[in-house]
């Protein structure tokens, strides 16, 4: 059994001469309004309004934008301007700051100019990088099994220059 599938569903039927019913109604409504204004307005004012009305009527009847009638865009514009708009403003709240206990007091950091020499800085840096004892209230102490284990390897620390030019302290372990 064969069924006929409609081919041209987007085209409207031409009812009144070469015009569709919508095109005819747009032109007829603007022509009738212009006819009524002829009796109400002065002639020079009527000419201006008649030209405007007929150009709007023919634009709505025949103008197409991207394959759609101008009336589609006019309906969309009216719906946009007429409908209520909801604008939401979401405030980004920062995460609550962790509150430190009031008993802790912190010393102000000294500027680098007050530190005596670079040798003291090197010693301090080496101590911080190589110490096996925990800094109180900042790090956990190592388990006793690790600290009491016999050292069968030789290890020492040295500065290594990276490709970028930065210096980094590295531990060199000799497993021989």
Residue 14 parent element (H or E): strand 14-16
Distance between CA atoms of 97 and 123, rounded to whole angstroms?
Answer: 35
Q: What is the pLDDT of residue 112?
A: 54
pLDDT-derived band at 153, boundaries 50, 70, 90: low
Kindly report the pTM of this predicted structure: 0.43
Please report how the helices 21-40 and 43-62 are oriented relative to each other, as an axis angle in degrees rounded to 10: 170
pLDDT-derived band at 56, boundaries 50, 70, 90: very high
More reliable by pLDDT, 170 or 59: 59
Q: What is the pLDDT of residue 139?
A: 59
Q: What is the pLDDT of residue 69?
A: 87
Distance between CA atoms of 57 and 49, rounded to whole angstroms?
Answer: 12
Q: What is the pLDDT of residue 4?
A: 83
Distance between CA atoms of 150 and 50, rounded to whole angstroms?
Answer: 107
């Amino acid at each position: 059994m064969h069924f006929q599938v409609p081919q041209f569903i987007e085209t409207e039927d031409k009812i009144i001469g070469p015009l569709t019913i919508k095109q005819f109604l747009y032109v007829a409504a603007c022509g009738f309004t212009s006819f009524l204004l002829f009796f109400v307005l002065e002639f020079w004012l009527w000419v201006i309004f008649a030209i405007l009305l007929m150009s709007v009527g023919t634009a709505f009847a025949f103008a197409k934008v991207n394959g759609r009638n101008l009336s589609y865009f006019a309906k969309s514009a009216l719906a946009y301007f007429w409908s209520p708009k909801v604008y939401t403003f979401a405030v980004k709240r920062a995460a609550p700051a962790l509150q430190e206990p009031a008993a802790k007091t912190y010393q102000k950091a000294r500027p680098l100019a007050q530190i005596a020499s670079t040798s003291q800085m090197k010693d301090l840096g080496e101590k911080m990088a190589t110490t096996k004892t925990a800094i109180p209230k900042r790090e956990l102490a190592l388990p006793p099994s690790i600290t009491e284990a016999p050292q069968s390897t030789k290890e020492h620390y040295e500065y290594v220059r990276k490709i970028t030019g930065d210096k980094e302290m590295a531990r060199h372990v000799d497993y021989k």
